[in-house]
Structure formats: structure tokens, C-alpha cells
A and B are shown apart, each in its own frame.
Chain A
Amino acid sequence: MGSLEQTVSSTDHHGPAKGITRWLYTTNHKDIGTLYLLFSLNMFFIGGCMALTIRAELFQPGLQLIMPEFFNQMTTMHGLIMVFGAVMPAFVGLANWMIPMMVGAPDMALPRMNNWSFWILPFAFSMMLSTLLMEGGAPNFGWTFYAPLSTTYAPPSVTFFIFAVHMMGISSIMGAINVIATILNMRAPGMKLMDMPLFVWTWLITAFLLIAVMPVLAGVVTMMLMDIHFGTSFFDAAGGGDPVLFQHVFWFFGHPEVYIMILPAFGVVSEIIPTFARKRLFGYTSMVYATASIAVLSFIVWAHHMFTVGLPLVGELFFMYTTMLIAVPTGVKVFNWVATMFRGSMTFETPMLFSLAFVVLFTIGGFSGLMLAIAPADFQYHDTYFVVAHFHYVLVPGSVFSIMAAAYYWLPKWTGHMYNEAMGKLHFWLSFIGVNVTFFPMHFLGLAGMPRRIPDYALQFADFNMVATFGAFLFGFSQLIFVYNVISCIRSGKKATARVWEGSHGLEWTLPSPPPYHSFTESPTFTRPHRNDDRGG
């Protein structure tokens, strides 16, 4: 922990090291942020290829391209990689880049641990992906890995999957500890908690969620490991265990986990919308409290994922009402974003377009979530494509769009160059159309009764599946535009100013673009934005 001052002073004079060792040994929050983001982009494409494999098989009824066993491996790996490899590391990357610059700190609080928490990830995911080449194939039990499907009936590679989950859990927990220490101990003098940018706030709350539930995930996979190899029977009914217990423990982790993937997205959007509406964020305090209440509620709603396991009526009602309660703080957020835009002088640069799409499409995902929260109706929706449509609406145009928005918003700050705006807009519109063409028909498929996780389906589902596959390929390939835009922005482009956006606000914009390798080695003086100034600090 003494390493922070030492690292800063020892590398201060000569900037980053040269060659590959710069990236292997780096303790710099900007380097590590870049590594996380590039890793996440890679995983996004690997997981995306799996999604396209799935969609290609579902283009027509019948089995054309792959065998059902491989199809199951694809759905499982797609889910695991997108959740743990793409979305979570992307937000940790954004946190690494932005939180020290937003709170006026020279680096993260624990730079060496920061290096470690990143470099665990490539090993964890290499191990997980290597199961695809193993005898018996990769895990094929869905990303929720319900026991006993994932214990008694699992392929032998499940052990590698368990260790991979352990490793990524350790990585996330170390990242979360680092974020909390940075935010609580390293803010610029004068910056109170309620002065922090909302992205910092949402990440602080997310980090506490991570510390609370990642150990539970580690616990549940450890129980699986013991059931498989050491003869215990946590989830084995023959030995006195209970498979339903697995679902309870898993979703006790799993529901806070879905908020881990969306709260930082709320933060990103709450940064971007005020910038392009040229107004201060409406209802800052209520945003903070809404985020905190969503986090607290996430611990008491888990069984809405398991309405059909045979819960007693009282249980169904309890989880139904608490789930619906979450719509209240979420609604507060949506209305605050809308109110921020109300009578603002809006412009529609790419980050704003992605943020607007986020607000609209995430709300659609939220509404289908409310439909699923109705316990009696859920008996029909359960395990159908309606559920697939719901969580893809909150994760793709939700989390992923917010990550895209964040990338475009801060890319000029990171690289010192403007990205190509026309190409960014093209990327947005193709993604927007692609996402809706892919996932909207899935609502209809689900309501008509098409089950999820099947490689073949009845003929009446053929048309909508074909449409969804077209959309998926459109969405998938339009992401190549993003990659091209990012690469060309890193290499060249119009010089970016320090403020980049006319309406930008906050400490990160007081640094030059790109920021020096070591920024804020002297604490900046934080001045509270004037009440009547609509633009903020």
C-alpha cells in the first residue's frame, strides 16, 4: 500500500516503460483501464461470434449447422463470456480510467493489486475457453448452471469452469476493493460525497454489491466442486441435499449481479445527458438515493427468477411485490433523465444518441421485467423467449449501449483525438436498428410459447426467428465500424481540446487531452459548482 507514492515518483520522470513490459508490469490506472477495455472488446467479439452461431442455427427450423450438444455449449459460453468477460470488465475499465480523474486522485488507491486484478482475467478466460476443446465439450448447462445439471450430469470440463469462475470472482472483488478505497480515501480536498459525479457514485454502490455477492458466487461454485469431487451432497437429493437450494443461493448472487451490470450504466448516462442537454443533472440527490435503494432492494427479490419451482403463495406474493417496488427508484431515474433534457439545448452527437437509445430501450426492458414480475403470468413466460427478449433489452441496449456511449464520450479525452462523428452516427443507427430487429420479435416468440435454449423449433416460429437472425448479423457486423473508428481515433484525427464537449463538466475535463501519464499528482482544488450555473462545474 506504500506503493502508490513510490510508483508515482519513480516513473514520474520518464513516463511509461517501452514495449510489452509496460503493459505486463503497469500499475498506472490509465494503462490498466485501457487493458480492461481492450480485453472486454475482445470478449465482446468472441461472445458475439457465439451469439451469431446460435442465431445462424435458429435462422430456420430444423438442424442445419451445428449439433444440439454444441448449441448448448454456445448458449452457455455466450452468456458467461458476455456477463463476466465483456460487460463487467468494460465497466471496471471505465472505472479505472475515469474515477481517479473524476475525484482528482493521482491513481487508484492500490495500484499493484490493480495490475493483478486485471492480469488474472486473461488466464481465467483462457481456461474457460479451453473447455471448448476438451473431451466432452465445454459447459453446456446454461450460464445459470443449475445443479444437478451442472454437477451430476455435467461434462468433465465443469471443473475448469468452476476454477475460472473463482478467478474472475477474485478479480472482481479486488477491483471493487480498489474502487471503494479510491473513492473514500483519495478524493480531492473539499469534494464531499454528495459532490461526486454520478458515475463515481454508481460505481461506489456497485463495488459494495460486488463485495457482497461475488463471495456468494464463489461459495456456490465451491459447493458444486465439493459435490462433484469430494462426495458432499449440497445439491444432491439422494444424500439429503436440495437442488432448489442451488437456485436460491445462485440467485441471491444473481440478482444483485444484474444490477452490477446496470448501475454503472446509469452513472454513464447521468454524465452524458447533462453534457449534451447543456443543463445540470436534474435531481442529483434523488439519483443517488434511487441507486442506493435499487442496490438494497436487489437483495430481497431473488426468488422472482424461480416462481415456478413451487414456492408457497406467500413467497410468490412477497417476491412479486418487492420486485415491482424496484420500478419506483428506476422510474425516478428515468424521469430525472427526461427532466434533465426538458428545455435543454440538446445536440445529438454519438454519445448522446447512444444515451437516448439507452433511456428508451432500457425502459422497454424494464417494462417487460415488470410483466415477468407478475407471478401468475410468469408461469407462462418462464423459460421462454420472452425472458430472452427482456434481459437482452436491458443488457444490450442497456449496458452495452451505455459502454458504447462512454467510449465515444471519453475517447477524445483518452486519445487526444476526435473520433469520426459521421462513422459514429452510422454505427449508432445500424446498432439501434439491429438491436431492435433482433430482440423485439423475441417478445412475440416468447408469448407464443417458444422455449429458450433450444436448437430447433416448431414451424410457426420460423418467420420471427428469421427476422431476429437478420437483425443479429446486422448488429454484429456493425460493431466492426466501432472498432475501425476507435483504431483510427487512436492513430490520428482532429486534435481534441481539454473540454472536448461544450457542455462538459467535472474534473476530468480540466486535464489536457490526452491527459498526462500521471495526472493530479498534486491534488486539484475542487470548487463546488455554482447553484445557478446550469452547466455545472
Chain B
Amino acid sequence: MSPLQRRNRSLITRLVAGTVLMFGFGFLLVPLYDVFCRVTGLNGKVLNNGPVAQVVDINHERRVRVQLLGVNNEAMPWRFQPDQSEISVFPGEMKQAAFIAFNPTRHYMVAQAVPSVAPSEAAAHLHKVNCFCFEQQPLMAGEQRAMPLVFMVDNELPQHISTITLSYTLFDITPESRPVLTLQQHPQGDSYE
């Protein structure tokens, strides 16, 4: 090997390694993005899921309005709405609410609700003890169910926030949850045409 070939070989090895590394970095951006959003609480994802330590001091000095919203994602045919559109809570107080879901179609369907909090600063202070969004929600044809939500707003909520909007978007995940599926049962099956 001539010196030129040797130099070419080592340079090219490094450049190819750089290429592979950057391909990996593209995928690394996915978890990095999640970590970044978690640290900064930017995109309104609810972070505090599951049981909270028993909170004794309920702050009766302050009231926070929590607005509940239920939205269907595009072709989702379910009726989906909260049983009350607004709840007034004291910080530290555990509250229960419910979302009513009704499957008007003639077949079994599975849904997944994805929550979002606005303003995003409030996301870190909203604790969901129990939520229907933790799990997939199956409904038989024509079935109606009240889906429970237990939550708490903690006392560290910034003073200037007096209203929090907790919104759920309901996605149809029937195809993903049932491997065998005929096209007719797929509510989006004809939306491509």
C-alpha cells in the first residue's frame, strides 16, 4: 500500500464512522427529545402518574379551576366527553372526575386517550393518581362506560396560574390492538381513497 492509499484508508474509515454515528444520532434524538421535554416540562405531557404520597395539608386559601376537555382524533366515531367540564379544586386535594365514552358503531373497538396539559408549566404540578389513559379502553358495540380519573394539583403550582386545561385526545387503536382485522371493520379503511 502506498502512503496515499494508507492515508485515504484511515480518513475514509473515520468519515464512514462519522456517517454511522450521525445515523445513530438521528435515532438518539428521539429519547433526547423526551428527556428534554421531561426536564423542562415543555410539551405539556403529564409526568406525575400513579399514587402520590399522602398529602395532609390542603391549601384552602387558593382555588384552581381545572377544565376538562375530550376530543376525538379525526375519524374516531366514539362519543367522548367529561361528566363535568370544569372542576374547582384546592391545591393538595384529591379529586375524582369521569369521562363518558360511548361506542356507537356496530363493532368492538379499542381506544387510547392521550393527555395534554396547558399551560405547559402546570404539567409538572398535576398529579394523576389514576387515569383511564394509563390503559387501552375497549368498548363493545353500543356500549357506554364512565372512565374514571383521579387527580391532584400540588401546592407548588406557580401563583399566576389559576386555570389548568387538561385535554384528552381519543385515538382509535383497534387495528394495532387486534392483529387480525378485515378492512370493513377498519373505520379509516376508506379514508385513503
Select which of B1, B22, B43, B171 is within 8 A of A211 by beta carbon: B22
Chain A CB within 8 A of B52 CB: no
Chain A CB within 8 A of B26 CB: yes
- What residue of chain A has the Cβ atom nearest to residue B26's Cβ? A219
Choose, from A52-60, A237-245, A439-447, A490-498, the stretch at the interface.
Answer: A237-245
Structural contact, A245 and B30, CB atoms closer than 8 A: yes
Knowing A186-B4, A249-B26, A249-B29, the reply to whether A242 touches B11 (Cβ < 8 A) is: no
Select which of B8, B26, B42 is within 8 A of A181 by beta carbon: B8
Chain B CB within 8 A of A1 CB: yes
Contacts of A4 in B (CB 8 A): 4
Binary flags per residue of B112-155, CB closer than 8 Å to A gives 1, else 0: 10100000100000000000000000000000000000000000
Q: Shortest CB–CB separation between residue B54 and chain A, in angstroms?
A: 30
Chain B CB within 8 A of A234 CB: yes
Knowing A252-B29, A312-B40, the reply to whether A1 touches B5 (Cβ < 8 A) is: yes
Contacts of A252 in B (CB 8 A): 26, 29
Knowing A2-B1, A312-B40, the reply to whether A180 touches B11 (Cβ < 8 A) is: yes
Knowing A212-B22, A312-B42, the reply to whether A234 touches B30 (Cβ < 8 A) is: yes
- Decide if the interface of chain A is mainly helix, strand, loop or mixed: helix
How far, in whole Å, are A369 and B42 apart by their CA atoms in the complex?
Answer: 27
Select which of A156, A173, A220, A231 is within 8 A of B19 by beta carbon: A173
Contacts of B172 in A (CB 8 A): 238
Chain A CB within 8 A of B66 CB: no
Contacts of A2 in B (CB 8 A): 1, 5
Contacts of B33 in A (CB 8 A): 242, 245, 248
Knowing A219-B26, A234-B30, A239-B176, the reply to whether A211 touches B18 (Cβ < 8 A) is: yes
Chain B CB within 8 A of A215 CB: yes
Chain A CB within 8 A of B12 CB: yes
Binary flags per residue of B1-40, CB closer than 8 Å to A gives 1, else 0: 1101101110110011011111101110110010000001
How far, in whole Å, are A4 and B18 apart by their CA atoms in the complex?
Answer: 24
Q: Which of B16, B30, B43, B172 has the most CB of A within 10 A?
A: B30
Contacts of B42 in A (CB 8 A): 311-312, 315
User: What class of interface size applies to chain B in its complex with A?
Assistant: 35 or more
Select which of A180, A186, A223 is within 8 A of B15 by beta carbon: A180
Structural contact, B11 and A181, CB atoms closer than 8 A: yes
Structural contact, A219 and B11, CB atoms closer than 8 A: no
Chain B CB within 8 A of A51 CB: no
Chain B CB within 8 A of A218 CB: yes
Contacts of B30 in A (CB 8 A): 223, 234, 245, 249
Chain B CB within 8 A of A62 CB: no
Select which of A109, A223, A237, A249 is within 8 A of B8 by beta carbon: A109
Chain B CB within 8 A of A5 CB: yes
How far, in whole Å, are A84 and B29 apart by their CA atoms in the complex?
Answer: 24
Chain B CB within 8 A of A184 CB: yes
How far, in whole Å, are A53 and B12 apart by their CA atoms in the complex?
Answer: 43
Structural contact, B114 and A218, CB atoms closer than 8 A: no
Structural contact, A136 and B27, CB atoms closer than 8 A: no
Contacts of B21 in A (CB 8 A): 215
Q: Which B residues from 167 to 193 make CB contacts under 8 A with A? A: 169, 171-173, 176, 191-192
Contacts of A311 in B (CB 8 A): 42
Contacts of B169 in A (CB 8 A): 237
- What residue of chain A has the Cβ atom nearest to residue B116's Cβ? A237
Q: Which A residues from 69 to 118 make CB contacts under 8 A with B? A: 109-110
Chain B residues within CB distance 8 Å of chain A: 1-2, 4-5, 7-9, 11-12, 15-16, 18-23, 25-27, 29-30, 33, 40, 42-43, 73, 112, 114, 120, 169, 171-173, 176, 191-192
Chain A residues within CB distance 8 Å of chain B: 1-2, 4-5, 109-110, 136, 153, 155-156, 173, 176-177, 180-181, 184-186, 211-220, 223, 231, 234, 237-240, 242, 244-245, 248-249, 252-253, 310-312, 315
What 6 A-B pairs are tightest by C-beta distance, nearest first?
A: A219-B26, A238-B171, A215-B23, A215-B22, A216-B26, A177-B15
Given A223-B27, A237-B169, A252-B26, 9 further pairs, Cβ under 8 A = A4-B4, A153-B192, A186-B4, A211-B18, A212-B18, A215-B25, A219-B27, A237-B171, A312-B40
